[in-house]
Amino acid sequence: MVAAALRAAHGWDEERIEIVPITTSGDRIQDRPLSEVGGKALWTKELDRCLMDGRTDMSVHSMKDVETIRPPELVIAAMLVREDVCDRLIGAQSLAELPMGARVGTSSPRRSAQLLNRRPDLEIVPIRGNVQTRLAKLERGEADATLLAAAGLNRLGMENIGALIRDMLPAPSQGAIGIEVRADMREIMSLVGAIDHKPTHVCVLAERRLLAGLGGDCHSAVAALATIESGRIRLRAEIMTANGREVVRNEAEFAENDQDAPGALARDLLGRASPALRALFSGET
């Protein structure tokens, strides 16, 4: 997708861009939740090394899997148009249709908390891997249902699989593809900037600033979505305990260039949370 966008923007031929496939630790380790083995850095460290060593000129990331704090030598230079931000439920047409005690496969703290908030009877079972791997696990009966990002399914041409869940806030940055370059490579940054979709970029940065303000980690259950409405950003967010019993929600509306508002929303959420929930994000005990 990024290569096609760059070719279209600059009139390049096929040979101008080389795609370098990189298998990350996150791809290789599929038997444990990411929170147990290093978190989101497992998706980026190999790509970062190639970029810093000059073996690649840019890295393409699913922004949902990029750590909030990045090395200062690297810059997110562009983002493609955001895909559908919703999750799809595979295995039933709605959460209400899942039988009592159904086993739902997910290793996402956010999805686990949201599911248990709505259906405390559900059993959450860890499940990781790519789309095909997760669907195969359902076929083998390892879980009765699972949640997958609609964005990934759509990009694979599988947009008719599962049922859209529109009443759950997504993970911050869900559905967004980002292109990262070295900060000292001005020419590459300029070339990549030609394919930047500013509305997506502005909204995802607001969600990432919220994450920075919360100070959570890969164990923390947080959902957020920024949209542009009438020229202003509307940022909705929620933080949750792992069992979903406590959820603190709020939203803020602010100008596109207001970089402080997401942090203020984060402080508001933490300020209204119980000590137990706040400790999951701020490190308090």
Could you confirm whether 27 is annotated as catalytic? no
Nearest Cα residue to 146 out of 90, 107, 94: 90
Distance CA 110, CA 223 (A): 7
Which residue(s) pair with 233 in the sheet?
228, 254
Catalytic pick among 48, 65, 84, 144: 65
Q: How far apart are the first and last CA of the chain?
A: 45
- The residue whose two tokens read 């300029």 is 190
Q: Which residues contact 263 (CB under 8 A, 6 or more apart)?
A: 209, 210, 212, 213
Distance CA 217, CA 185 (A): 30
| Dihedral (Cα; 152, 153, 154, 156), 10-degree rounding | 90
> What secondary structure does DSSP assign to 8-61, as a single string?
HHHT--GGG--------HHHH--SS-HHHHTGGGGGTHHHHHHHHTTS-S-EEE
The beta-strand segments (E) located in the chain are 59-62, 74-79, 87-90, 103-105, 123-125, 145-149, 163-165, 177-182, 221-229, 232-240, 247-255
Burial 83-98 (b: 16+ CB within 10 A, else e): bbbbbbbbbbeebeeb
Q: Which residues are catalytic?
A: 65
